[in-house]
Each structure stands twice: as C-alpha cells, then as structure tokens.
Amino acid sequence: MRLTDCHNFHDFRRLAKRRLPGPIFNYIDGGADDEVTLRRNSEAFESVDLVPHVLRGTPEVDLSTTIMGQKLALPFYCSPTALQRLFHHQGERAVAAAAAKYGTMFGVSSLGTVSLEELRKTHDTPQVYQFYFHKDRGLNRAMMQRAKEAGVEVMMLTVDSMTGGNRERDKRTGFSIPFKLTLGGMAQFAMKPAWGINYVTHEKFALPQLDEHVDMGGGTMSIGRYFTEMLDPTMNWDDLAEMVVEWGGKFCLKGIIHPEDAIRAAEVGCDAVILSNHGGRQLDGSVAPFDALGDIVDRVGDRLDVIMDSGVQRGTHIVKALAMGAKAVGIGRGYLFPLAAAGQAGVERMLGLLKDEVERDMRLMGAARVSDLDRSMLRVRTR
C-alpha cells in the first residue's frame, strides 16, 4: 500500500498502521475506557441527513471562513496535537507546511515537539497555541509571554484534560513518555524496524515548550506525571477570566460540551469555543460534539465563534457541522494518520482530498459559500 492508494481517512489509517509500531499506532487510534465516545463522535454525523438544493447555479465555490479574526481559505484546520515527531520525524514542521500550502490554520501544543518560535518564523499562516493550565501561575504567565513574543495570534486553552483519560490500550502496551513498554509492546516495536531507524537517526526527540519542566529522558517528569502533578484540577472561571485579560488577544476555550459553559465562556470574554471531547480520549460516555452543536450555536452563536472537533472523517461531516452553525471544524486523527504514513506529503494529500470533498459536497448541496449552508439543509433522523 502506497500513499497514492489513500483516498480517505480509513486508507490513511491502514497505511499508518502498517508503518507505526503497535504501541504508537494505538496511542493515536485509541480512546478512553470502552471507547464508546470515540465511536459515537463519528456515528453522530450519521444521525443527520443532508437535504440538498438543486438548480442554484454554483460555478464557483468559496470555501473561506473567518474565525477569531483569522481568515482561512478552508473551513477546516489542523488542531494542535501532542508528540507529533513521535509519529513521523518531520512532526509539526510537516503539518505547518501543509496547512500553509492550503491557507488554513494549524495549532501547536504545549506538548508539541517543535518550538513555537521556529514555526512562527517559517510560516505566516494563522497559528494557535494550545495551552494547559498549570498549578504554577508563574509558569502560566511565562508560557503566555513566550507565545506573545513568538507572534502567535490565538491562545487556545484546553479545559477537558485536567487529568489524563483511562486509555487502556496504552496500559496494555506500556506506552508512555518516556517509554516503559511491556514485553508485548517491545515485540511490536521490533516488528517495525524502519520506525526505529528513523527515530534514532533524526533530531533528538524533545518538548521545546516544556523543556525545562518535562525531561524526555525519564529524569524529572513523565507525560503521565505532567498531567497528574503539574496541571491544576482546581482551575475555575475566575482563573479563566484573569487569563483572558492577561493574554489580551484572541482567546479560545477548547473542550466545551455543556451549553451553560459556553455561555460562561462568552461572559468572561472568550472569542470562541471549541466543542470537543478530546476525540473520545478523556471522559467515555461524553456527548458527541456534533450532537451538542446546534444547542450551543443557538445559545451563544451571536456572541462568539462556535467551532467543533472530534470524529470528523469526511467532507460531508464538515458540511453538516457548518450547516448546523459551526464557523469551522478541527481535524485531529484525520491528519495524524497521514503524517505517520508519509510526513508532509501525507498531510498535503489529506488536506487536498478533504478540500475536494467539501467543494464537491457544497456544489451538490447548491451552496456557493459557507454562509449558504444552514439547518434547512439538514434532517434529523427519527428512526
């Protein structure tokens, strides 16, 4: 199987599975507990049908949208995700370059493996910084200041991960950073020697946003301990309000599901909320973001930008979310599997295929621009 054989999410996933050691593939692929929410995130889109218009004459389709003051050429973007150079040695460099090629936004995680400064200097496309709230308030201020000095436009605070989810696939293989593999996990690495060769022959793995606080060599801190010891589970709305003021720029709250939380986010000055359950990796049994989308748009859509991620695999998923009222849609696993499969070339192919899907779907819907999509074009199944 080659990159040219990949035509959709599932093809990229299969190619990534062939190339990655099992523990790393399962880290990307897996969810929390019984993975009910992981499955439901995508299945939710199947509960709503598209109702297309015809004879509208749509020779040109404008896919652009504006979120948090950032003009995007596409109504979807590459969400910030952790540990990308573990999946492919190019990591965030590949994702940023592919996003720049297609004129869309990308994100850098606090647990990213390439520095904010390097990516901001290399690409002038919209960039967000995905941030976790730490017990050490001085560390929070220092990290925000660093992002400002790097020229990052949007702060994205993730609030659904104050502790790590129960990801049992990782427990079975012993996947962690640093590695503490079981015998079965080590055997799976041995079966994929090409990954190991790439890992040891390229730049040393690191977390530049947290290099003073997380020792990838196993000395002072592991990723698991980072979530359980450094993040502040007592964070509240007052803390958020202070952070919004201190940042002083566009601010987005990621991990919202409850409509009352979306209302509070608007009240404290957030510019956007992202409906997300972390791709089903945190609280199993959580509502799928698409199922929560309509109600939250109705409550706060006139006060801030409502965005969603989790479970997006097709252009029709994006079209349905936009018709429901989302301003844009985030992609996570949808670009991580292409990244793992083929680096920058894989991410570019995925973005190109998804762009073609959305454009074709909008033509078939009779929509010339994103704003033409609305709920009259959706029908919720009753059986």
- Report the 10 Å Cβ neighbour count for 200: 9
278 is a catalytic site residue: yes
**Token output for 109:** 């995680």
pLDDT digits (tens, 9 = 90+) for 86-116: 999 999 999 999 999 999 999 999 889 999 9
Tell me how far the alpha carbon of residue 88 is from its chain's centroid.
Answer: 17
State phi, psi for 51 to the nearest 5 degrees.
-120, 90
**Poorest-pLDDT segment among 29-33, 213-217, 357-361:** 213-217
Phi-psi sector, 129: left (phi>0), alpha (psi -120 to 50), beta: beta
pLDDT on residue 48: 97
Q: CA-to-CA distance for 307 and 272, rounded, in angstroms?
A: 7
Which of the listed ranges 92-101, 115-124, 131-140, 202-211 does the model predict with the highest average pLDDT? Answer: 92-101
327 burial (CB, 10 Å; 0-12 / 13-18 / 19+) is: buried
Q: CA-to-CA distance for 259 and 318, rounded, in angstroms?
A: 21
**Token output for 223:** 């990723």
pLDDT on residue 219: 45
Amino acid at position 321, single letter = A
Residues, the chain: 383
pLDDT on residue 213: 63
Instruction: Choose, from 88, 134, 278, 317, the residue flagged as catalytic.
Output: 278
pLDDT digits (tens, 9 = 90+) for 251-263: 999 999 999 999 9
Q: Which residue has the higher pLDDT, 58 or 253?
A: 253
Asked whether 38 and 279 are in contact (CB, 8 A), the reply is yes
Asked whether 272 and 23 are in contact (CB, 8 A), the reply is no
pLDDT on residue 204: 86
pLDDT on residue 220: 43
Q: CA-to-CA distance for 32 and 281, rounded, in angstroms?
A: 5
Question: What is the band of 45 on the pLDDT scale with cuts at 50, 70, 90?
Answer: very high
Question: What is the band of 222 on the pLDDT scale with cuts at 50, 70, 90?
Answer: low
Q: Over range 183-210, report the average pLDDT.
A: 82
The CA distances from residue 83 to 18, 176, 205, 301, in Å, are 19, 11, 9, 33
| Cβ within 8 Å of residue 186, ≥6 positions away | none
Percent of the chain with pLDDT over 70: 95
